Amino acid sequence: TFGWKRYYNLDEIEAWLDEILQTHPGITEDFSVGQSYEGRRIRGIKISHGSNKPGIFIESNIHAREWITSASATWFINELLTSQQPEVRNLANSYDWYIVPVFNVDGFAYSHQSDRMWRKTRQPHPTSSCIGVDGNRNFDSQWMVNNGASDDPCSETFAGPVPWSEPETKALSDYLTSIRDKFSVYISFHSYGQWLLSPYGHTKEEFPENYNDLLEIGDAFSGAIKNLVYGTEYVHGSTATVLYVASGSSVDWVFNELDKKVGFTIEFRDKARFGFVLPPSQILANCEELMAGMIALIDRTNTLG
Ligand code: 0X9
Ligand code: ZN
Ligand code: ZN
C-alpha cells in the first residue's frame, strides 16, 4: 500500500488511482487527457462533492525527472479524500478538483526504466538523433520568443519544431479548452528550487494586470510554509524575474489564451543539495508544505475576489 515513503513508478501510481476510484465512488471520477506518443493514456482524477463548484486544475510531472511532483499530487488527492482537518475538508468540499498526477507519462516511465535525469517527452525528430521536446516550452503562447526556449533538438529546453508538436501538449490544450468554464485556478507542479512562480515567463518587461494580487497570494503561500516547523523558505514572483525567461509554458498559455487570472508554477524542494533526486525521506515534509501553501493560496485568492 501507498505510504509516500518511497517513489512509485507509473504502474504503481495507476494501480493506486484505480483503487482510490473504487474506494471513493461518486466523489471521484476518472478522466482522460488523451494519449501520449508511445500510446499511454494520460490520466486524471476529478474530485467533486457536488455539481458546478469552482474548479482548480493541477498539472504535475510535465518534466519526467521531477518525481516529487507526482508523489505530492497523489498525496494531495489522498488528503482531499480522507483528511479530517477542517481546512482540508473545506478545500475538498468547496471546489471541483481536476488533478493529473503524471502528465508526461512516457518520460516518467523512461526516467524510472532507463535515465533518472530524463526531462522531455519521448517523440523522436526526423532531423536529429536526440529525442523529445520540453513540454513546458511547446505551448502556443509566446512560443520561442525572447530566447525563452531552444530550437536545438538536443537541448533540454527544446521548444519543438512547432507549437503543439507533442501529442501530450496538444491533448492537454484540447482538454483544458473543453473544460475552460469549469476551472479558474491552474497550478503546475515542478521541482526544484522552492519558488512560487506566476506569469509571465516570456518577459521581464511586462506583468499581468493583476500582478499585485498574484504577489499577495504568493506572500500568503510562502508565509504559510515558512510558519511550519521546517521553516522552509519559498521565494515568489514572476517566472521571468525570479527564475529565468521561459516561453511557451503551460501556465502562461492558460493565463493568456484561456483568460485565467490565477496561475502558478510551484517548484518544490529542495534548493540544490539533492535537486531532482530528492530523498524519499523528504516526501512527506514537502507534502505538508504543499498543503499549508495551497490552503493559504486559495484563501487569499478568495479574499481578493
Ligand atoms: O523551466 C521550467 O519549465 C520550469 N523550471 S524547471 O526547473 N522545473 O524546469 C519553470 C516554469 C516556469 N513557468 C512559467 N514559465 N510560467
Ligand atoms: Zn520542471
Ligand atoms: Zn511578497
Torsion of CA 236, 80, 110, 40, to 10 degrees: -120
The atom number, within ligand 1, closest to the CA of 267 reads 8
pLDDT band at 251 (very low <50, low <70, confident <90, very high): very high
Ranges of each domain in the chain: 10-304
Pocket test for ligand 1, best of 60, 63, 198, 257 (most atoms within 8 A of CB): 63
The atom number, within ligand 1, closest to the CA of 188 reads 13
Question: Over 80: is that where the pLDDT of 305 sits?
Answer: no
Average pLDDT estimate for 248-266: 98
| CA–centroid distance, residue 227 to ligand 1 (Å) | 26
For 72, list phi and psi in degrees, rounded to 5.
Answer: -70, -35
| CA–centroid distance, residue 52 to ligand 1 (Å) | 31
pLDDT tens per residue, range 78-126 = 999 999 999 999 999 999 999 999 999 999 999 999 999 999 999 999 9
pLDDT for the residue numbered 1: 74
**Residue % of the chain over a pLDDT of 90:** 98
pLDDT for the residue numbered 183: 98
CB-based pocket (< 6 A), ligand 1: 63, 66, 136, 190, 197, 199, 201, 239, 243, 246, 249, 251-252, 265, 267
Cell of 130: 536526440
**pTM beyond cutoff 0.95:** yes
Annotated catalytic sites, by residue? Answer: 267
Separation in Å, CA 236 to CA 84, 176, 193, 259, 292: 30, 25, 11, 22, 15
pLDDT for the residue numbered 110: 99
CB-CB neighbours of 10 under 10 Å: 21
Task: Answer positive or negative: Cα dihedral of 212, 100, 284, 65.
Answer: negative
Please tell me the distance from the alpha carbon of residue 55 to that of residue 219, in angstroms, as a whole number.
22
CB-CB neighbours of 219 under 10 Å: 14
Average pLDDT along the chain: 98
pLDDT tens per residue, range 15-56 = 999 999 999 999 999 999 999 999 999 999 999 998 899 999
pLDDT for the residue numbered 51: 84
| Complex ipTM over 0.90 | yes
| CA–centroid distance, residue 214 to ligand 3 (Å) | 9
pLDDT tens per residue, range 175-213 = 999 999 999 999 999 999 999 999 999 999 999 999 999
Residue with cell 501529442: 167
Answer yes or no: are the C-beta atoms of 225 and 231 closer than 8 Å.
no
Separation in Å, CA 242 to CA 89, 112, 194, 196, 249: 33, 31, 11, 9, 16
Q: What is the third-level CATH fold of 10-304?
A: Aminopeptidase (3.40.630)
Cell of 270: 529542495
Give per-residue burial for 236-262: e unless 16+ CB within 10 Å, then b. Answer: bbbbbebbebbbbbbbbbbbbebebbb
Half-sphere exposure at residue 12, Cβ-oriented, CA atoms within 13 angstroms: 14
Please tell me the distance from the alpha carbon of residue 259 to that of residue 248, in angstroms, as a whole number.
15
Q: Is the peptide bond before 140 cis (omega within 30 degrees of 0)?
A: no
